[in-house]
Amino acid sequence: MGALVLKFTSPAYPDVPFFQVDVNTGKHIMSLHLEDPVDRTVFETLLASADVILGGNRPGVATWLLRYSPGALGAKTAERGRRIVYIAEDCFGGYGVPRAE
């Protein structure tokens, strides 16, 4: 039995189509606007059964704006009795000087 892999992206910043076939085979991919209550409910429902989450948000968005830090996701999934793997795959890395500076 394989892992259930969930990849979420923002509707405003979808994946580049030619990457879809090569690097996303076997993943459940969806565009969710996690500031929207309906989309957040969908995400929370999917989170209950996911084994791996791939987040393509820019650094800090999932953690501070959306409140889905790796620790927060771990706490949510601990309730179900098994852990989750969280992968942040933004293209700029997690550290550095903010663009505004």
The residues, ordered by sequence, that sit 6+ positions from 77 with a Cβ below 8 Å of its Cβ are 47, 83, 84
Chain mean pLDDT for the chain? 73
- Burial of residue 62 (number of CB atoms within 10 Å: 0-12, 13-18, 19+): buried
Cα angle 89-31-84, degrees, rounded to a multiple of 5: 50
- 23: its two tokens: 């690097």
7 or 92: which carries more pLDDT confidence?
7
The residue ranges of every structural domain in the chain are 37-50+59-94
- pTM check: above 0.85: no
The residues, ordered by sequence, that sit 6+ positions from 95 with a Cβ below 8 Å of its Cβ are 59
Q: In which band, very low, low, confident or very high, does the pLDDT at 38 lie, cut at 50, 70 and 90?
A: very high
Whether the per-residue pLDDT at 49 is higher than 70: the answer is yes
- Range of weakest confidence among 15-19, 38-42, 97-101: 97-101
Whether the per-residue pLDDT at 101 is higher than 60: the answer is no
